[in-house]
Amino acid sequence: MRKKIIVVGSGIAGLSVAVALQKMDMDVSVYERASKPTVAGAGIIIAPNALKALEPFGIAQTIKERGKPSDGFHILSEQGKMLNKLTIPSSYQYMYSIHRKDLHNILLSALRPNTVNWGKNFSHVIQDSQGVQVTFEDNSIVTGDILIAADGIHSPIRKQLFPNSSYRYAGYTCWRGVMATKGIPNIKESFFETWGSQGRFGIVPLPNDQVYWYALVNAKPNDANYIKFTTTDLFNHFKEYHFPIPTLLNNTDEHQMIHRDVFDIVPMDKFYHHRTVFIGDAAHAVTPNMGQGACQAIEDARILAEYLNKYENITQAFANYNAHRKEKVNTISKQSWNIGKMAQMNNRFLISLRDKLLKLTPQVMIQKQAQHVYNFETTK
């Protein structure tokens, strides 16, 4: 019998799983609390593993056509000296940068009309042996066989079903922005991240003469000083860093900047509960130090859809999905957390030691570690 699948959340995770399910001819509806498509103005990187996961749906090619390619990230000192390059192994595709809004639109356009129901804010779920019943804050109710929770790091569904799940503050806060590069000379096309005593600064070129930048500074959670930071404050904080960091900040308007503290969650012990299954940040939000948050959500979407297509028994499908994804998600969560701690060092002596180690790290070791991240294994 054809299952009726309810997805809550229309971010990258929710739209990706809806696309995958529809391509497998399953009955899926997405419910989103926003009244219309709205995406924060920031860039995103789609790595080789996520591209491979999206290939059967025609989306990977569209991302390549509309995105900007790179074979890896340069790691620089605050003076602009090369410390190392995190190169993608030659056996894998490039990574591609794209504006988050553009990716969102690509995924939306791959869905059948009226798949997404806007203005539906989740209230609570009831599930039993017969199915799931989801109630929204407008008192509307939908019923189905499966609920996919794709409602992000602050997932109300997770909070209802797993009230003891906890957040971890990473120890640093983050600003992000997208701006036009017209009029700023000598902006390089390479992706790079600068590790220095005042914090970290990343620059990712985007298509259409734009650039995505992000800055991470050690801070207490909800630090009042940083909450009030303006672009001028951020410029003054990073003004001694190499070009083009001060120039970009000096040319960023206030409305182009987004700020939030960095949290993750300890990945759930089990990514499902009866007829409800969790994907993306709702299940395993990670710190943004490996560019893998959205990529792991896309992997989740492909694998979950394949198991739901393969097994009639929901519990069996969920259990296989959980077993398939658990180890990789846990590994990336730990690696990303540790990279953040290393990258956010502010003791100059320790920074000097770290930078020397980075310079001495051979490419063969970097590429071996990258293979685990960029490898995508479909279901057997």
Q: What is the pLDDT of residue 51?
A: 98
Structural domain includes residue 193? no
Separation of alpha carbons 253 and 65, rounded Å:
29
DSSP state of 104: H
Burial (CB count <10 Å: 0-12, 13-18, 19+), residue 368: exposed
Separation of alpha carbons 135 and 125, rounded Å:
6
101-130 in b/e form (b: 16+ CB < 10 A) is bbbbebbbebbeeebbbeebebeebebeee
Q: How many domains are there within the chain? A: 1
Structural domain includes residue 216? no
Phi, psi of 129 (to 5 degrees): -65, -15
Interval 69-94: pLDDT, tens? 999 999 999 999 999 999 999 999 99
Residues of the chain with pLDDT under 50: none
Structural domain includes residue 259? no
Q: What is the pLDDT of residue 1?
A: 64
Q: What is the pLDDT of residue 21?
A: 98
Separation of alpha carbons 380 and 372, rounded Å:
18
Q: What is the CATH number of the domain that holds 30?
A: 3.50.50.60
Structural domain includes residue 325? yes
Structural domain includes residue 314? yes
Separation of alpha carbons 115 and 94, rounded Å:
31
Structural domain includes residue 301? yes
- Closest to 350 (Cα-Cα) out of 221, 194, 218, 196: 196
Average pLDDT, the chain: 95
First to last CA, the chain: 23
Phi, psi of 253 (to 5 degrees): -80, 155
Q: What is the pLDDT of residue 41?
A: 67
Residue 129, domain extent: 4-167+264-374
Cut 0.85: pTM above it: yes
How would DSSP label each residue in 303-338? HHHHHHHH-SSHHHHHHHHHHHHHHHHHHHHHHHHH
